[in-house]
Amino acid sequence: MNIIIERGLLLTPLTKLVNITERRSIMPILSNILVAFSRGGIDIYSTDLELSAISHVSYEGDSEKKIVVHGRKFFEILKEMDADTLDLDIGDNTMTMKQKQAEFVLSLQDPEEFPEVREITGSEEFSLSGATFLEMIEKVGFAISSDETRYVLTGMYIVGSEGLISVVGTDGFRMALYQQEVEGVKGFPGIIIPKRSILEIGRMIGEGDEMRFVVGEKHVQFNTPSVTVVSRLLEGNFPDYENVVPRNNTNTLKVDKTRFVKGLRKVATIISKSEPIKVTLSEGVMEIETESEIGHAKEVLDVDYSGEKLNMNFNIRFLMDVASHIDGENIIIKAPSTYGAVLFEEEKDDHYKNIVMPIRV
């Protein structure tokens, strides 16, 4: 079988799908992609059994053929070729790729051995803009745990109520909560999407894409005009995030975000990125200080505060993460009178909250 095709028709979808292919899998077949040529177009499949993607490419073909080829190598070859047509000569066990003076012969695997990849049906479906979904990932992704011993925390939690989606990421020491009104959401029980799936889906989706979000019993599916992505869900009980959000933190201050971040960076110069810093609050003043074997550092900030005098210790990386993800000129911080979770919010938007537990010293 011989096919003449524009390089971009294969390279563009492969750019999105190739990262899913497993390079260190105990199942060699997962290092491959399946390309199905038909008269109506080309379907390209990639899977690692946890995350699968299907891309459909419009193409006026005159025959049907399925091939299974090494995903990464096929992608790298296409990337190095000119933006021109390719000549694909497909046999039973090999595919010869030709373009001008270049020629490659790639081994093919049996399509019957490639795992089945199919779309799901769900109990809840709704539309979501790519920009909104990417913002959800950006706002909570940094707080998702990487500790495999706390399995349910290694994913992004999403729950729907009437017209509202809540998205949560936590590692047990800090939590990010983002809520967004979404038309058409009827409500669905919370699901946990693995962090790797979230990152890969975010890489495939553009801000201008209109997504169809399908919630199944054990999988979730994202549809865009160019790609369908299906991810396994993590099983287990996610922490009750609503009870984690402090309701009675009466000591409230407002701090200039730029000055706060700069102050954190100054004191961070003498410690490693995850060491503790001491934050002292008194009327109109925030003091940030730390010490190490190198020495001592202190920064004093003018803030809008008239609450109790408080001393708290934080992982400096947690505060830097929070500050970098809050929008606006100011950060609102609400602290309890005794040891407990501290709430960080945007000044003019209560849809995004960060909670950080101080360190006991």
Dist. CA 340–CA 247, nearest whole Å? 11
Tokens encoding 215: 């919630």
What would the pLDDT profile of 279-303 be if each residue is shown by its tens digit?
999 999 999 999 988 899 999 999 9
Q: Describe the strand order of the beta sheet including 2-6 as a list of residue ranges.
A: 2-6, 85-90, 94-99, 102-107
Dist. CA 234–CA 238, nearest whole Å? 10
Q: What mean pLDDT, rounded, does the chain reach?
A: 93
Residue 24 pLDDT class (50, 70, 90 cuts): low
Q: pLDDT over 70 for what percent of the chain? A: 99
- The C-alpha angle 215, 216, 220, rounded to 5 degrees, equals 60
User: Is there a single domain that holds both residue 156 and residue 227?
Assistant: yes
User: Is there a single domain that holds both residue 43 and residue 83?
Assistant: yes
What would the pLDDT profile of 200-214 be if each residue is shown by its tens digit?
999 999 899 999 999
For residue 252, is it within any domain? Answer: yes
* pLDDT over 70 at 340, yes or no: yes
* Residue 286: C-alpha distances to residues 254, 301, 322, 327 (Å): 10, 5, 17, 20
For residue 257, is it within any domain? Answer: yes
For residue 239, is it within any domain? Answer: yes
pTM of the model: 0.90
Residue 23 pLDDT class (50, 70, 90 cuts): low
Last residue of a domain, one of 196, 216, 243: 243
For residue 281, is it within any domain? Answer: yes
For residue 258, is it within any domain? Answer: yes
Average pLDDT over residues 11-33: 88
The answer to whether 288 and 242 are in contact (CB under 8 A) is no
Average pLDDT over residues 15-29: 84
Write the burial class of residue 111 (CB in 10 Å: 0-12 exposed, 13-18 middle, 19+ buried).
Answer: middle
Last residue of a domain, one of 113, 137, 160: 113
Give the domain range for residue 34: 2-113
User: Is there a single domain that holds both residue 74 and residue 7?
Assistant: yes
Tokens encoding 63: 């025959």
Distance of CA 20 to the CA centre of its chain: 14
3-state secondary structure of 243: helix
Cβ neighbours around 77 below 10 Å, total? 19
User: Is there a single domain that holds both residue 143 and residue 231?
Assistant: yes
User: Is there a single domain that holds both residue 128 and residue 211?
Assistant: yes
Which residues, other chains included, contact 293 with Cβ-Cβ below 8 Å and sequence gap of 6+? none
Last residue of a domain, one of 189, 209, 243: 243
What would the pLDDT profile of 49-85 be if each residue is shown by its tens digit?
999 999 999 888 788 899 999 999 999 999 999 999 9
The answer to whether 67 and 90 are in contact (CB under 8 A) is yes
For residue 15, is it within any domain? Answer: yes
The answer to whether 281 and 289 are in contact (CB under 8 A) is no
User: Is there a single domain that holds both residue 49 and residue 104?
Assistant: yes
Q: pLDDT over 90 for what percent of the chain? A: 82
* pLDDT over 70 at 36, yes or no: yes
CATH code, domain with 169: 3.10.150.10
User: Is there a single domain that holds both residue 166 and residue 277?
Assistant: no
User: Is there a single domain that holds both residue 135 and residue 229?
Assistant: yes
Tokens encoding 162: 């009437």
What would the pLDDT profile of 88-145 be if each residue is shown by its tens digit?
999 989 999 999 999 999 999 999 999 999 899 888 899 999 999 999 999 999 999 9
Helix ranges (H only) for 118-209 are 130-140, 195-204
What are the two backbone dihedrals, phi and then psi, of residue 325, each rounded to the nearest 5 degrees? -105, -5
User: Is there a single domain that holds both residue 206 and residue 314?
Assistant: no
Write the burial class of residue 338 (CB in 10 Å: 0-12 exposed, 13-18 middle, 19+ buried).
Answer: exposed
User: Is there a single domain that holds both residue 10 and residue 89?
Assistant: yes
Residue 25 pLDDT class (50, 70, 90 cuts): low
User: Is there a single domain that holds both residue 236 and residue 325?
Assistant: no
For residue 361, is it within any domain? Answer: no
For residue 118, is it within any domain? Answer: no
Domain count, the chain: 3
The H or E element spanning position 219 is strand 219-223
* pLDDT over 80 at 26, yes or no: no
User: Is there a single domain that holds both residue 93 and residue 191?
Assistant: no
Dist. CA 193–CA 190, nearest whole Å? 10
* pLDDT over 80 at 22, yes or no: no
Q: 295's torsion region: left (phi>0), alpha (psi -120 to 50) or beta?
A: left
CA R_g for the chain: 25
The conformation of residue 226, written as its DSSP 8-state character, comes to S
